[in-house]
Amino acid sequence: MRRPFRFLVLAFPLLALAPSEALGQAEWTQFSSDDGTFRAVFPKTPEINSGSEIKAGIASTTHVVAASNIGVFCSVSYTDYSPRLGGSPREELESNREDFLNQFRATLVESHDSILEHARGEPLPALAFAAVNETDAFRLFVAVDGLRSYIILAASDKTSPNDADMDRCIDGFHLTR
């Protein structure tokens, strides 16, 4: 079972409490990954963290790119695995969803299959879902591309979620090759 949320769990509380700009910020920052595989938008210049681990003979390196403003926490995490896990892409997507729900003590609100378009051919299998816990509302988009798993997360206060910025975070992610 994959655990790419380990680094996200560490980054989320720090960025959610970081000094932020005004709610409804008009201009977000465009970010392109160092390896050129994706671009995303964030409410301000994102922080980048990464770490590696070996578990059950499988090496993984996770990168978390994240930023927040007063209304939303937005992150893209991607994990590279070596070797590929034995499960199907569908099993990996569902495992990522269950890992998130468990680690954030969240309840699933909705979940549906999706796809992620890219320039190399057939769309990638993906899963879009929403969840809530005691304080936060979450929207996630998870996709699998061979040895890499992508997780796009938008989080906002549960009592007054910033739906527009959460959508902007999720919809602002695109593969570039």
pLDDT tens, position by position, 49-80: 999 998 878 888 999 999 999 999 999 999 99
User: pLDDT band for position 28 (50/70/90)?
Assistant: very high
What pLDDT is recorded for position 86? 65
The percent of the chain in helix, strand and coil, each rounded to the nearest 5, is 20, 45, 35
pLDDT tops 70 at residue 117: yes
Q: What is the DSSP letter of 11?
A: H
Instruction: Give the number of other Cβ atoms within 10 Å of residue 149's Cβ.
Output: 24
Looking at the structure of the chain, the number of domains it has is: 1
In 3D, which of 8, 1, 125 has the Cα closest to residue 58? 1
Question: 125-166: per-residue pLDDT in tens?
Answer: 999 999 999 999 999 999 988 888 999 999 999 999 999 999
H-helix or E-strand spanning residue 26:
none
DSSP 8-state code for residue 25: -
Q: Is 169 helix (H, G, I), strand (E, B) or coil?
A: helix
pTM of the full predicted structure? 0.85
Dihedral sign for Cα atoms in the order 103, 77, 60, 175: positive
Neighbours of 98 (CB within 10 A): 12
Tokens at 167, concatenated: 């959508």
The structure tokens 């969240």 sit at: 106
Q: Residue 85 has what pLDDT?
A: 59
* Domain span at 26: 5-175
**Measured in Å, how far apart are the chain's first and last C-alpha atoms?**
27
Range among 5-14, 106-115, 140-149 with highest mean pLDDT value: 106-115
CATH number at residue 82: 3.40.1000.10
pLDDT range class, residue 40, cuts 50, 70, 90: very high
74-102 pLDDT per residue, tens: 999 999 988 765 678 888 899 899 999 99
